[in-house]
Amino acid sequence: MLKRFWPVLLIFISMISVQGSASIAKYLFPVLGPEGMTAWRLFFSSIMLIFIFKPWRKTMTKQALKYVFLYGISIGCMNLAFYNAIARIPLGIAVAIELTGPIIVAMCSSRKLLDFIWLGIAIIGLSMLLPLYQVSDNLDPIGILFALLAGSGWACYILFGRKASTIYGSASVAIGSVIASCFLFPIGIWQSGSTMFSLELLPMVFLVSLLASAIPYGLDMIALPKLPAQTFSTLMSLSPVFAALSGFIVLHEQLTHYQWLAIIFIITSSIGTVLTMSRPVKIKSSKPNN
């Protein structure tokens, strides 16, 4: 029993680490801003991932460079949009909206009626979070837009990451993170100025990077060989719940019953999509974000 459960426990700890890092990052936004926080987080994460994957051991071809570059841009845009989203709306809601990105990617190859039913459920959940009703007036429309952009970035991350990892291997995530850091760091300096280099903030920023990348990635790598891909994807669909709980505990963000119901719709759609997939998908790597 314990032997079967411990990989699931590791995935839960991984999700808690990722969402906890997002809460700490949001806590630092008033000083660094989303742009500065994203820049530093990707900078530290890329260093960690380089030491983990050692990409210098493999030659980069022109074709590989093309997809790794697009993958890196996707990582940067996804992270920047996500941090801008959680700066404006509750963490749990942002993660739930972002989850629609991979749901749509999964639906693109759908042919069964049941798959479109799951998509419809996701759309219902998303529409419940849009500021179309009085109960959702507390949600910033710009924040929702950024969350949708983060979801689009996640979709591109999946598509380009799959191609990059096929050609260049798992080291793609290290090079991709370096590319993302290179184009985001100037943006962070432009937005945050000299505050970016405050020695008092760097330990906290490093902690966010550790919780968001190194720790969860290491836990995922231990757990993944012991879990079917379908089980892993189903567990990852619960990320909005951990995000909402993290937001409540660390940031004191409280969601309405209506918003919780919307999140449950999106989670149901994600789990249903995974469970009814016609072919199992081999997991290459976990998402280096949020």
For residue 162, report the phi and psi dihedrals to the nearest 5 degrees.
-60, -45
What average pLDDT does the segment 245-259 reach?
A: 87
105 vs 90: CA distance, rounded Å: 24
8 Å CB contact between 229 and 281: yes
**Given this model, what pLDDT does residue 83 score?**
95
Whether the pLDDT of residue 290 is over 70: the answer is no
Q: Hunting for tokens 């989303």 — which residue is that? A: 34
Note the pLDDT tens digit of each residue in 175-231: 999 999 999 999 999 988 888 888 888 899 999 988 987 788 767 767 766 777 667
Percent with pLDDT over 70 in the chain: 87
- For the chain, give every domain's residue range: 17-275
Model pTM? 0.84
Identify the band that residue 282 occupies on the pLDDT scale cut at 50, 70 and 90: very low
Whether the pLDDT of residue 65 is over 70: the answer is yes
Residue closest to 243 by CA, chosen among 86, 40, 35: 86
